[in-house]
Amino acid sequence: MSTHTQPVDGLAVAVLEGTESHSSRVGSAGGWAAVGHIAGALAGRVLDLLVAASVLLVLAPLLIAIAVAVRIDSKGPVLFRQRRVGRGRREFTIFKFRTMCEDADSSRHRKYVQTLIDGTRESERGHLYKLSVDDRVTRVGRFLRSWSLDELPQLINVLRGQMALVGPRPVIPYEIDMYPDAYLKRFVVKPGLTGLWQVSGRNERTYDEMVSFDIEYAESSSLWLDLRILAKTVPVVLRRQGVA
């Protein structure tokens, strides 16, 4: 197995502010999180519930239209369900709009991801975690992916408490089989609908960089950091930045 990089001190704040990283800044954010941990966790959960419920209500017509388009475009269920790993390495079922053909074979993607993790292959620029050429993706699926619309059903996972609005990317169980111990730090918080990696280049990053972003967030998470990431998510999605 290749040698994996370690989380970069101050990466979270540096990326959001567009400055060089400084450990003291993370110490300050970490101190705030430690002092107000209980209050911050409660406020974060309230924020998750309010935003998730509001977005689902406001976007209900759009969600219905997407569901109809998915069903008309190809055979199969509207929603894609897959086991993912969350906080404390507990598994849950994630919901997304289906973007692939029914009964698509996942073995090719699994092998690809494993080669990224063990360092035997570099991801193609702009296609981290996704195959650059994937004939399993439907026509509607390509459109949904390009605007991140396939992720919207994950708001259900947020309401259920399995995910948060902001957090590390929810990983597939087989990824953990290849993880070095340092990577497991990402599981101390809930996975998120968006996160530091998603607003920091997304698929333009390497797998190792993605995990570093996730660990950095887990170690310095706070309500303030969540609000800043959420604010940055909107323009990133509209610009389709880092979309594979």
State the Cα torsion 153-157-163-167 to the nearest 10°: 0
H/E element, 68: helix 60-73
| CA atoms of 89 and 11, how far apart (whole Å) | 24
pTM: predicted TM-score of the whole model, two decimal places: 0.80
d(CA 169, CA 167): 7
pLDDT over threshold 60, residue 100? yes
Burial class (CB in 10 A: 0-12, 13-18, 19+), 109: middle
pLDDT, tens digit (0-9, with 9 covering 90-100), for 122-166: 555 444 555 555 778 899 999 999 899 999 999 999 999 999 999
Contact of 146 with 127, CB cutoff 8 Å: no
pLDDT (mean) for 195-206 = 83
pLDDT tens-place string over residues 51-84: 999 999 999 999 999 999 999 999 999 999 999 9
The structural domains of the chain, with segments of one domain joined by +, span: 43-238
The mean predicted confidence, pLDDT, of the chain is 82
Q: Could you write out the three-class secondary structure of 127-152?
A: CCCCCCCCCCECHHHHHHHHCCHHHC
